[in-house]
Chains A and B, each alone.
Chain A
Amino acid sequence: MNNSIRVSCTKNNLKSIRSFVTEYLETLALSDVLMNQIVLAVDEICANLIIHANNEDPSKYIYLTVTEPNNAVQFEIKDNGIAFKSSDYKEPDILEHVRVGKKGGVGIALVRRIMDKVEFTTKEGTNAVLLYKKIK
């Protein structure tokens, strides 16, 4: 089965990314809730890369690869945009978001709560996000 895709940086392509991940996960017989969580985590990272790291520039691409290490599923998402500084990351205060009417800033919190491992690395201008989730 095909385990990687290359997607140009437009928000409309998020749907194709979700379809790709869903199709891949379908063979693993996961519960609806777990399947949705994993698709969501990948979607959140890709949305951030498309919108913030690559400014929705369709001439730029992100690369997604899925693998299955022991009893787990692992996603690697690469791009050449602006690197995410995980050291600057702060857990959002949802009550404060409600109070000030803030729209964004909860995506990475979802990813971190869903996945068992979330790693951001940058090497020679290429950023890689690694998402790892035990499934058994």
Chain B
Amino acid sequence: MKITQDIKDSTIIMTLDGELDASSSVVLDEELSDPEIMKYKKILVDCRNLNYISSAGLGVFISHLQRFEDAQIKLIFFNMQDKVRNVFEILGLDLLMTIVSNYEEAITIADE
């Protein structure tokens, strides 16, 4: 799992590249646990190259969701592959998290 960050004012775009399983999701958890991230108002997660996610990866997002919500930080996923989105849907996470088609939509929703 390779995670890159691109910062634009109050927005952080996090690009995930690879697979999030029980082994690799630790890296994502460290990134999201970094207190620095709470400085931003919007976290946009680019999932174009996220090829796989298991419950361990989902668990990382589930565990940070309330913390971001309490801090009024918007967490938005975009460019998600169908097979990965399907895993969110199996647990109904697509109803609790914001998943949009592309970057333009992510920016629009983030600015609302």
Using CB atoms, name the residue of chain B closest to A92: B91
Set of chain B residues within 8 Å of A43, measured between Cβ atoms:
21-22, 54
B100 at the interface (CB under 8 A from A): no
Q: Contact: A94 with B62, CB < 8 Å?
A: yes
Interface code B65-79, partner A: CB below 8 Å = 1, 0 otherwise? Answer: 111000000000000
B103 at the interface (CB under 8 A from A): no
Using CB atoms, name the residue of chain A closest to B51: A36
A123 at the interface (CB under 8 A from B): no
Q: Contact: A36 with B91, CB < 8 Å?
A: no
Given the known inter-chain contacts A51-B22, A101-B67, please indicate yes or no for A36 contacting B83, CB distance below 8 A: yes
Using CB atoms, name the residue of chain B closest to A111: B55
Set of chain A residues within 8 Å of B84, measured between Cβ atoms:
36
Q: Which one, A10-18, A65-73, A127-135, is touching chain B?
A: A10-18
- Interface residue count for B (Cβ, 8 Å)? 28
Interface code B19-30, partner A: CB below 8 Å = 1, 0 otherwise? Answer: 101110000010
Given the known inter-chain contacts A32-B82, A36-B87, please indicate yes or no for A18 contacting B52, CB distance below 8 A: yes
Q: Contact: B67 with A103, CB < 8 Å?
A: no
Question: Quick one: which of B42-66 are within 8 Å of A by CB?
Answer: 52, 54-56, 58-60, 62-66
Using CB atoms, name the residue of chain A closest to B87: A40
Given the known inter-chain contacts A43-B54, A94-B91, A94-B92, please indicate yes or no for A106 contacting B19, CB distance below 8 A: no
B90 at the interface (CB under 8 A from A): yes
Q: Select A11's contact among B23, B60, B62, beta carbons within 8 Å.
A: B23
A85 at the interface (CB under 8 A from B): no
Interface code A112-134, partner B: CB below 8 Å = 1, 0 otherwise? Answer: 01100000000000000000000
Set of chain B residues within 8 Å of A114, measured between Cβ atoms:
90
Q: Contact: A113 with B90, CB < 8 Å?
A: yes
**Considering the chains assembled together, what is the distance between the CA atoms of A94 and B90 in angstroms?**
12
